[in-house]
Amino acid sequence: MPRLFIGLAAILLVGCGSGTKPVDPTDALMARYAGDVPGASLLVLKDGRPIVRRGYGMANLEDGDKATPATNYRLASVSKQFTAAAILLLAEHGRLDLDDPVRRWLPSLPETTSTVTLRQLLTHTGGLVDYEDLIPPGTTAQVSDDDVLRMLSATPKTYFAPGSAYRYSNSGYVLLGLVVERASGIGLPSYLKQRIFQPLHMDHTLLYEHGKGPEVANRAYGYSEEHGRWTRTDQSVTSATRGDGGIYSSIDDLARWDAALYDDRLLSAASRRLAFSPHVKITGEPYQASYGYGWRITGDTLWHSGESIGFRNVIVRWPKQHLTVILLSNRNDPEPYRTALAIAQPYLH
């Protein structure tokens, strides 16, 4: 039996043996998030209905705000599926082609990237250098998308020939966000709001831009445990980039996103098929998966995690069983993917 389930069984037996009410299995798995510590919001959807919808712990330690289903977390790389959806929507409307070279839209990029396509950026097969490795030592100001474009434009190096390998690339998704702006003629936050968030009534979801507004309502702030104490670590030098991780949302709004992925209300069947198809095998990670467009694919699951300083999130979908688990947390640990899988077990058949 996996260690996670042995631990859960022990917790449940202790509760029953003491004569107290048995511990809820989900609450047992979420115990680390409970109390006066940085917390989490958890949603389990089965056949479109919320089976579990709970907040644990705190969204803001300094102000004493509890985490709730309406708390908005920085999604980090869970944002990538929205950037991918924006590209697919623009392709549906003939504003771009997935096989466009990225230099068609961002001509300042070096000649070494001349054959990199939007499709390859979607699947992390473009070979672009990680922008995190290009940030000058000692940088304290947050890096913007334009900064990323400038750094990549001055860097002729690539990791491999486009389409020949897989390497997870935040750089690629920052560029895709910029392509959305060039192809649509409006800013990325406005495009996501007008074409995705508003139509789906994700009324509290936004691509956050510090200093430009609007501010995030019901905002969770990120924390990291250092020397046995929780320290606010909400922002870093790389927390201002957008297409790779800048969206804030709640489990309630993500329920609307999940529902839209089952039908044509947002993306066509052809676009959803592209997003959810295994285009490339993921390498260099401690799990077996392929990559679609903003989604990892493992067996019958579609999923993606998101990690930013002080945030760890995951969405896991079992479309054939109409089951989804979403776990958003404002802390650097634990990693939530396996917790989400364990929470799903009672609802799988």
- Range 112-124 average pLDDT: 98
Tell me whether residue 27 is in a domain.
no
Share the mean pLDDT of the chain. 94
Residue 115, domain extent: 34-347
Angle at 156 between CA 153 and CA 160, to 5 degrees: 120
- Range 130-142 average pLDDT: 95
Beta-carbon-side half-sphere exposure of residue 92 (alpha carbons within 13 Å) = 16
- Whether the per-residue pLDDT at 95 is higher than 80: the answer is yes
- Range 324-328 average pLDDT: 98
User: Residues 6 or more apart from 344 whose CB is under 8 A from it?
Assistant: 44, 316, 318, 323, 325
What pLDDT, in 10s, does the model give residues 29-81? 999 999 999 999 999 999 999 999 999 999 999 999 999 999 999 999 999 99
Question: For the stretch 78-90, what's the b/e string if a residue is b when 16 or more beta carbons lie within 10 angstroms of its beta carbon?
Answer: bbbbbbbbbbbbb
- Whether the per-residue pLDDT at 2 is higher than 70: the answer is no
What is the reported pLDDT for 6? 38
Angle at 190 between CA 257 and CA 45, to 5 degrees: 10
Tell me whether residue 166 is in a domain.
yes
Tell me whether residue 272 is in a domain.
yes
What is the tally of structural domains in the chain?
1
Tell me whether residue 225 is in a domain.
yes
221: left (phi over 0), alpha (psi -120 to 50) or beta: beta
- Whether the per-residue pLDDT at 9 is higher than 60: the answer is no
Lowest mean per-residue pLDDT among 8-17, 28-37, 273-282, 283-292? 8-17
Tell me whether residue 277 is in a domain.
yes
What is the reported pLDDT for 140? 92
What pLDDT, in 10s, does the model give residues 192-209? 999 999 999 999 999 999
What pLDDT, in 10s, does the model give residues 137-196? 999 999 999 999 999 999 999 999 999 999 999 999 999 999 999 999 999 999 999 999
Tell me whether residue 21 is in a domain.
no
**For the whole model, what pTM was predicted?**
0.93
CATH number at residue 317: 3.40.710.10
Tell me whether residue 2 is in a domain.
no
What is the reported pLDDT for 21? 66
Residue 303: is it exposed, middle or buried by C-beta count within 10 angstroms (0-12/13-18/19+)?
buried
What is the reported pLDDT for 3? 43
Tell me whether residue 18 is in a domain.
no
- Whether the per-residue pLDDT at 10 is higher than 80: the answer is no
